[in-house]
Chains A and B, each alone.
Chain A
Amino acid sequence: MSSFLGSSIGKKLIMSVTGLFLIMFLLVHLFLNLLTLVGSDVFNTAAHFMGTNPIMKVMEFALAAGFLFHMVYALYLTIVNQNARPVKYAVANKSKATSWASKNMLITGGVVLIFLVLHLMNYYYKIKFTDLIESGEMTEYDLVVGLFQPENWYYVVIYIGWFILLGLHLNHAFQSAFQTLGLNNKTWERRLIVIGNIYALVISIGFSIIPIYFFINSLM
């Protein structure tokens, strides 16, 4: 087993499994966040449930572990792969057959990570480590609305930029994860690419709707 997880395919399998776990997380997260559009009560109830439910506490731990493993392996594999070509080519490959996203996963992933830290400071930190919510001063919903006010227009830009980069990461990641698991063949190759594109669009657009909605709402 250790030789298996230590092999090139085994290490890649860890990327794929943690990546698919994060893909599922994004869907759940998107669904919950879209509840902000339904109304403050619904969203606050859902956010409260997610924050206090014991199963969710465990999942929170799993999520942190998933991110950690994904990132550590991403960095490690990228370094190993770069070392496999000590002398670089003078002329770069110009073939259009490979997507930009597929060749720059560490860059898209890395930028997603930087914004993730900002995002956690905006919400997670305020909810867990300050008494803003407990004191009843603010609700989770207020936090969301508050971030996307006209004077905070740059947050709207930052968040949308974040979702575009995440979409690029997912665009390659989705079909790649299935390919890594061996769950692919000539027929499914194209289908998985299409499903992956749809997934990436749903995530990018879905999450972007929230800052745009509250920004426009606050202008009116």
Chain B
Amino acid sequence: MDLKLKIWKQKNPKDKGRFETYNIANISPDCSFLEMIDILNEQLINEGKEPVAFDHDCREGICGMCSLYINGRPHGPDDDITTCQLHMRKFKHGDTITIEPWRAAAFPVVKDLIIERNAFDKILQAGGFVSVNTGGVQDANAILIPHDTAEEAMDAASCIGCGACVAACKNSSAMLFVAAKVSQLAVLPQGKIEAAARVKNMISKMDELGFGGCTNTGACEAECPKSISISHIARMNREFLCANIQD
């Protein structure tokens, strides 16, 4: 299929940036979206032009590195997948595809479609962990955890930190990401010990970094490639309230 691509080009964080239009021909429907950009880049390099910079790593939906706001949706027109899992069969011959970087004050553009997601790392450093004491390795089943609880924690832990929730939210709120990280530890006995301090530290870091607040629109849940539920946000609000009432 032949396509017209409108891609955001920006030299560096200070550059104003603009859309650049590219034409690309003979794309197979079996091609992945990122492969399509690879083909475009090869074409651009052969023409002596500058290729389009974009983020990617695993290309199998587990690392959270790929991003791209495609035709108005983070990770493109399919549900529950990352951009690297998106196939060109979701598009038609002759389509115009607009590709933008995630837009948020807390995620500045580095170059073209690459954005700085350090803010997520900073939130995790503020409390998204369980302190490990030295000593012998514990037996895996020393602490019994009900199946439902383990599942709930596992669902939350499937967040890959891609930032699509922030990109989709009209307020650029990071609440779904933070809620997933808070939840995954708060429901487990190992994580409960530091739960109150964790939620307070992570929220205060989140606010400091310039993410917006949640207005419960549910856009994050709809666009999250891992279908993280907004019920985790309710849990985080609850944890945060209780933690503050206690002191």
Instruction: Write the residues of chain A forming the contact surface with B, with a CB cutoff of 8 angstroms.
Output: 1, 3-4, 7-13, 77, 80-95, 97-99, 102-103, 105, 172, 175-176, 178-186, 189
Contacts and interface: CB of A to CB of B under 8 A. Distances in A.
B237 A181 contact: yes
B234 A81 contact: no
Contacts of A102: 215-218
A42 B191 CA distance: 59
A89 B207 contact: no
B171 A179 contact: no
A4 B235 CA distance: 17
**Of B210, B212, B219, most A-chain CB atoms within 10 Å:** B212
Given A84-B104, A84-B106, A8 B213 contact: yes
**Of A80, A84, A86, most B-chain CB atoms within 10 Å:** A84
B215 A84 contact: no
Contact of B244 (A4, A77, A91, A94): A4
B86 to A, nearest CB: 15
A11 B244 contact: no
Interface residues of B, number: 47
B231 A189 contact: yes
Given A81-B215, A95-B222, A98-B217, A8 B207 contact: yes
B73 interface: yes
A4 B242 CA distance: 11
B234 A185 contact: yes
B73 A85 contact: no
Interface in B159-195: 168, 170-173
B212 A98 contact: no
Contacts of A97: 218-219, 221-223
B215 A93 contact: no
B219 A12 contact: no
B148 to A, nearest CB: 11
Contacts of B231: 184-186, 189
A81 B210 CA distance: 9
Interface of B: 6, 19, 69, 71-73, 98, 100, 103-106, 168, 170-173, 203-204, 206-207, 210-219, 221-223, 229-231, 233-241, 244
10 contacts: A11-B213, A83-B105, A85-B172, A93-B72, A102-B216, A103-B217, A172-B216, A172-B217, A180-B214, A182-B239
B229 A186 contact: yes
Contact of B213 (A81, A175, A186): A81
Contacts of A95: 72-73, 168, 219, 222-223
Contacts of A84: 104-106, 171-173, 210-212
A179 B237 contact: yes
A89 B46 CA distance: 31
Contacts of A185: 231, 234-235
Nearest to A10: B244
Contact of A98 (B213, B219, B244): B219
B170 A103 contact: yes
Contacts of B204: 3, 7
Contacts of B103: 85, 87-89
Contacts of A8: 173, 203, 206-207, 211-214
Contacts of B6: 90
A136 B109 CA distance: 70
Contacts of A1: 244
Contacts of A99: 217
Contacts of A10: 244
Contacts of B223: 95, 97
A138 to B, nearest CB: 43
Contact of B73 (A93, A181, A184): A93
